[in-house]
Every structure is written in structure tokens, then in C-alpha cells.
Amino acid sequence: MSRLVVHAETDPAQVIADTDDAAAIARLLAEVGVRFERWDARHALGIKSDAAEILGAYAPEIARLKAEGGYVTADVIRLTPDNPDHPVLRRKFLDEHTHAEDEVRFFVEGEGTFYLHLGGRVFRTLCCRDDLISVPAGTPHWFDMGPAPRFAAIRLFTNPEGWVARFTGSPIAEGFPRHGE
């Protein structure tokens, strides 16, 4: 189930808001310019479903997002605990960073947590199957897939190079609860 916990940036123990209501999550995130919607990830994925199959299954949704946001490419990130690269990928996404473009993700399987650092607060956003999140360009954030990741998300980009991060150098992520721990 999706969940949003808003913390004071200087005190992770200070909880400002905590909700699992999708409408409340969407409203609270919209107040800081973040798009959050519940969609229907209606296609069951098999263990062997590859990126092409996933992109094909969600082609209408991808086309709509491309038309709305000017995105030129889409790919799939799918990780499971048996992927030998998952510890390296987790570490890569755990440091606070920004992007020159919006970070758009549609979760079609599993879950992961986005941490959005905005206005003196950290918005800890657990995204699950059926969740669409769009983090505006320039927003400091990090992502945690947990120690045993299990998720698939469609990613959309305006930059044909795909995921390009600018790390802030801030240690803020180290003080907040990790996903799945």
C-alpha cells in the first residue's frame, strides 16, 4: 500500500504527516509540485517478462505520458533479490541527487521509496504497483529499493541518454529510515 510520511529535514523522528490515503498523498505532494496518481497496472508480469514485453503491455499509457510531457524514451528498471548487481544499484540511488529533467516512474510491480527533499521537509513516499510519480526537474531526492528489491517500473525521459544524476554531496539520506529495514 502506498504511504507518505513527511519528516522535518533536521529531525527524521519529527513526523509532520503520515498517510496511506492515495488522495491525501496526491494532494500533499501536489502542494510541492510533485505528481502522484494511482493507475491500474492491469497486466500480470511473468518471472521472465522482459523490458520489451512490459513496454508493449503498457504502450497506451506510455504514449499518453510521452504526449503530455514531451518524453522521448522509455525503459524499464526491474530488480529482484537474485540480481547480483542490486547492491551496487541500491547504493547508486541512495545518495541525494537531482536531474535536469522530471523523474517519471510508473510502478507495474513491487515497491520502492522516493525521498523528496523540499521546503525544509523530507517527503518519504512509498510507491507500489499502480503508482505513478513524477518528481520535477531539479528536486533533490534519493530512492531506496531496499536490501532485497522486488520491483519493476517504467521510466520516461526527455533526454535520450536516460538516467543522468547530479549528486548534491549532502549526507542527508544517511539519517532517514531505509526502505525495508
Is 141 annotated to bind a ligand? Reply is: yes
Q: What is the residue whose three cell numbers read 530512492?
A: 143
Task: Tell me whether residue 43 is exposed, middle or buried, using C-beta atoms within 10 angstroms of its C-beta: 0 to 12, 13 to 18, 19 or more.
Answer: middle
Cα separation, 122 vs 173, in Å, equals 10
Cα separation, 59 vs 54, in Å, equals 8
Q: Tell me the CB-side half-sphere exposure of residue 45, using CA atoms within 13 A.
A: 26
Cα separation, 114 vs 108, in Å, equals 16
Binding-site residues for Ni(2+), in ranges, read 97, 99, 103, 141
Binding-site residues for Fe(2+), in ranges, read 97, 99, 103, 141
Binding-site residues, in ranges, read 97, 99, 103, 141
